[in-house]
Structures are given as structure tokens and as C-alpha cells.
Chains A and B, each alone.
Chain A
Amino acid sequence: MLKLNNIEVTYLNVIRVLHGVSMTVEDGAIIALLGANGAGKSTTLKAISGLLHIEEGEVTDGSIEWNGERIDKKYAEEIGKMGIIQALEGRHVFEHLNTEENLIVGAHNRRDRHAVRQDLEMVYDYFPRLKEMRRNTAGYLSGGEQQMLVIGRAMMATPKLMMLDEPSLGLAPLLVEEIYDIIRRFNTEQKTSVLLVEQNVRIALSISHYGYVMENGRVVLDGTADFLKNNEDVKEFYMGLSALGTKKSYREVKHYKRRKRWL
């Protein structure tokens, strides 16, 4: 179980981007972290995975606990070995390696080669497309295939908690659905918890159990997926639906008509 206790994150010792974020990721759950650009979602993920150190950021207050152990001062490689793996935003594949080599890099910290073979088959089972492309240079894969590869690479580490940063970014709606189906299957079959950062609120809430909404470095709303889906503010400001649940007509919008309740 992952627990964030009121964490503050500061970049370069002066720029504070998170002002007291708390959240819990139960074992085996899919948690969605929602919010607009610059809300602090990616920073939260990087604080958990330890990648913050590279960007000269630091958790200046609060604590992050993974199964009771504090991890907020640890480096990415230690946290990775503890079973928390992050897939970065924006398809960071290793361009000059082929698909299979990319996946093997994901399994770097695994000791036994035999299990790595098996995991490779498992990932190919989830993403049959990658199996067809196993010898192709990753840099020349299509956007969807690259996203699959990044998720597959995270799977190769057999994480206990997989953090995905905007897996739907720049993908066609059909492909987004396919990828989300796979994430859900992976979660139920492998019992891996998933922490999901998304802008695409609708699809994220369709597979997650619980969600947090962030704004300006704070969690402003949290609740079960059903609660969030039916929340007026979420509907209005993140899904673009009016009170009636129909598509909003922008002609009739008066921006002062509705205020966010949490402000």
C-alpha cells in the first residue's frame, strides 16, 4: 500500500509545486489522478518514483510510505527495486533499440533469466502487436505501438505498483480504449496496483476504482469513480457535460453561471 502524507514538493529550493497532497493507493486498486495541465499530477508521480531528484526537485515536507517504509528520500533505482515503476509521459522509448531490447531493459533488475523469458511472453500476450514488431527499431514504431511498448516495458519489471503518465496522450480514441482494456486486464490478472495520471477523465474513470482531482498542487476532490463520474463539478469542468448529462452547448455558456464548489 502506498501512502502520501501531506507532501510538499519544491523545485530548485524555491518553486513550490505541491502544497500538501495526500492520497492512498490500496493494493490491487486502480487509482486515477485527474486534473488540468500544471496541476502537479506528473510531479506527484515523480515524487513517488524518485525521479524528482534528477530534476532538482525535493519532497520538502510530509512523507511517502510504501508498505510502511518511507521512500521519499530514496533514489529511483532503489524505489524501482521495491516494485514501483513509472512509465513516463510522452512515449520515452529507446529509439535505436528494437522492441524486444526495449522490453529487456525494463526487466533489468530481475535476477533469473528464465522468468524474464516468461514475462516477455506475457507482455506479448497482452500486446500481440508488439510481438509482430519485436525486431523493429523502436524509433520507427507508430505512436500507439510506442505507447504499448512503454507500458509493456513497465510490465516487464513485474511491479507491485505501476504508474502510468497519460497513456492516452495523442492516440486515436479506439486505440485509447484498447490500451485501457489491457491495463484493466493486467490489473485484475496480475494483481498489480495502477496509479493513473490522465487528462481524459471519462476513460480514466471508466476503469479506476477511486480517483483524485488535483488543481494548483492540491487535491481538491476525491472519491470513488462512481462518485466522481456523477459529481456536478467534474462533469461540468472535466467532462464538458451540463447538468442534464447532454453535451454542453457553448453558445449558451455564461462563464459566471457556475462556480466550482471546492473553491
Chain B
Amino acid sequence: MAELLQFVITGLSVGMVYSLIALGFVLVWKSSSVANLALGQIVLISSWFTYSMLAQAELPVYIAFPLVVLFAMFLGWVIERFALRPLIAQPILSLIAVTLGIGYFIEGVITFIWPWSVDALPRLFPREVIHIGPAVISQEYVWVIVICLVVFVLLTVFFRYHKMGIAMRATADDQMAVQACGIPVTRVFSTSWMFACCVAAIGGILISSIGGITHGLVETGLKAFSVVILGGLDSFAGAIIAGPIIGLAESLGGGYLTPYIWAGVKDIIPFVIIIIVMCIKPYGLFGEERIERI
């Protein structure tokens, strides 16, 4: 029982971080139908940047955190402005290839600036453990869940009520008509990239506060893709719900099956789930089907 509760909490919190990163993907995909393949690298560089702010510059969290957010937004703006905007109206495949290139570029920059490649973030959350019934859970998991929920709520409110959020959803539907309304789509694109990098960065901080910074963080980008595919490429709700599913599958499957099968089973389970879901619902769990009036 205690074990189960532990697996559930860790699964949920890691899964929610996946959701955050996945939201970074969905944001860009929805407004400009570009698949952002540099997501994992953006997560990694934001984590390293956080490390530099906290451990090397020794800034307090309340200064470092806004700096990281600013850094991520700046990164998003630069990527959109200098790598993608010149390619507007080009075939979508070249745009996707460009994001792949950006990813490798960022990786290069990372090994240049932080060549030691493994480190731990200073503790962000209190050290004391929490007792829930029989289970002992380290506090950071609970904090991660809380922070993710707050970000989800903020994003939902933004997209539902803020005019820029509404304009971003509108751009996803019909770029031409958005321009006919006198809205600069280029600004919509750069906003979506800034937001995407921002949530990816927050995800990066949270996950590296649990597991430390390693090169493996790039793979969380891959996990985020599986979340996105499971939830539906263009669905915010899908990403938010699919994240915990993947997280739970990982931690429960990993926790209970590893002793019987082999150690890597944890990493395979999410993909098995995806294959099964894809067979049944090809749009993903919550993907938008095309509205067709007959």
C-alpha cells in the first residue's frame, strides 16, 4: 500500500512535468503547425541556465527564477525571429528540419559552456519528508505537482480569456483570416514560441530538481512527444491528461515489473501504451478532429 502510494505520487509529478513540456510542443504546433524538435534541448539548456544562476552566481530563488523565465522567453523569441520567420511560407518539412538543427546547435552550446555534463541543482524545496498514511514521500514531488497545476490554470485562463490567447487559437484555425482581421501573425508566432520555451524551461527546472541535470534530459523532450501523440497533437487538455498517464505507467510499471522482467522496462511502457492508443484513436485521446459540415 505504501509502495503503491509512493509510485502514484512520483508518477503523477513526473507525468505533470511531461505535460508541461508537452504543452510547449502543442503551443507551437497549434499556432504554426511546426513540430518543434528542439524541445529536449531547450529543456536542458534552461536547466543548465538555472544551475548557473543558483549554484554559480548564487542568486536567491526569487531572483533566479524570473531570470530563467526571461531567458527562456528570449530564447524562444530568438529562435522564431532568426530561424523560423525567414522561412515563413516555405514547405513545412524545412521548418521542422530547422528546429532539429536548432536542437543540435543548442546541444553544442551546452557542451561548450557546461562541459562537465552532469550536476545537481541546489535544493529548491524543503528537505523534510511528508507522511501520507503509511507512505513516506519526499516533499519536492508534492511541490512539483502544485506548481504544474498552477501553470496549467494560468495557461488555461490565458487561452480562454486573454485576447492574445484567443488570437493564438484563431491562428491555429485560419492564418489568412487572422491577417484579414489586421492581426500580425508574426507576433502570434513569436508569442507562441516564447510561451513554449517558457513552459519547457519550468518543466526543465522541476525535473532537474528531482533527478539532477544530466544529458538524459534531452530525452524528456522525446517523452513529451509521446505525451503529445497520446493526447492529440493540437490539444492542450490532451497534453495535460496524457502526461500523468505516461508518468503513472512509467512509475507503476517500472516499480512493479522491474524485479520480474528487466531494468529497462520502465522506458518501454509509455511507448507500448501509445501504440495501443494510436491503433484505437489515431487522432490521440483528445486530438481535434476536423469539423466538417455536410
Contacts and interface: CB of A to CB of B under 8 A. Distances in A.
Interface of A: 49, 51, 54, 56, 75-77, 79-81, 85-88, 92-97, 101-102, 104-109, 137, 139-140, 143, 153-154, 157
Contact of A96 (B163, B172, B178, B181): B172
Interface in B166-189: 166-167, 169-170, 172-174, 176-184
A105 B288 contact: no
Nearest to B164: A108
B293 interface: yes
Given A80-B183, A93-B177, 6 more contacts: A51-B176, A54-B176, A85-B180, A92-B177, A153-B181, A154-B181
B93 interface: no
Q: Which 8 pairs across A and B sit closest by C-beta, in order of nearness?
A: A80-B182, A139-B291, A92-B177, A77-B184, A94-B173, A94-B170, A105-B170, A76-B179
Most buried by B among A81, A97, A153: A97
B176 A92 contact: yes
Contact of A105 (B89, B183, B184, B293): B183
20 contacts: A54-B89, A54-B179, A76-B180, A77-B184, A85-B180, A86-B180, A87-B180, A88-B177, A92-B174, A93-B177, A94-B174, A94-B177, A95-B291, A96-B169, A101-B170, A102-B170, A105-B163, A105-B170, A137-B291, A157-B182
A96 B291 contact: yes
Contact of A88 (B166, B172, B176, B293): B176
Contacts, number: 86
B188 to A, nearest CB: 10
Nearest to A163: B180
Contacts of A56: 89
A178 to B, nearest CB: 20
A107 B178 CA distance: 11
Contact of B179 (A77, A137, A139, A143): A77
Interface of B: 89, 163, 166-167, 169-170, 172-174, 176-184, 288, 291, 293
B291 A140 contact: yes
A106 B176 contact: no
A98 B180 CA distance: 19
A23 B108 CA distance: 58
B27 to A, nearest CB: 15
A142 to B, nearest CB: 8
Most buried by B among A105, A106, A140: A105
Nearest to B175: A54
Most buried by B among A86, A107, A108: A108
B181 A108 contact: yes
B291 A49 contact: no
Nearest to A141: B293
Most buried by A among B172, B179, B293: B179
Nearest to A105: B170
Contact of B173 (A76, A77, A95, A104): A95
Contacts of B176: 51, 54, 88, 92
Contacts of A80: 180-183
B169 A97 contact: yes
Contact of A106 (B89, B179, B181, B288): B181
A97 B291 CA distance: 11
Most buried by A among B173, B177, B183, B288: B177
A81 B177 CA distance: 15
Most buried by A among B170, B180, B183, B184: B180
B26 to A, nearest CB: 14
Contacts of A75: 184
A77 B183 contact: yes
Nearest to A113: B163
Given A104-B163, A104-B166, A108-B167, A79 B173 contact: no
Contacts of B170: 94, 97, 101-102, 105
Contacts of A137: 291
B163 A88 contact: no
Contacts of A143: 293
Contact of B166 (A85, A105, A109): A105
B222 to A, nearest CB: 28
A154 B183 CA distance: 12
Nearest to B174: A92
Given A96-B172, A139-B291, A76 B177 contact: no
B283 to A, nearest CB: 13
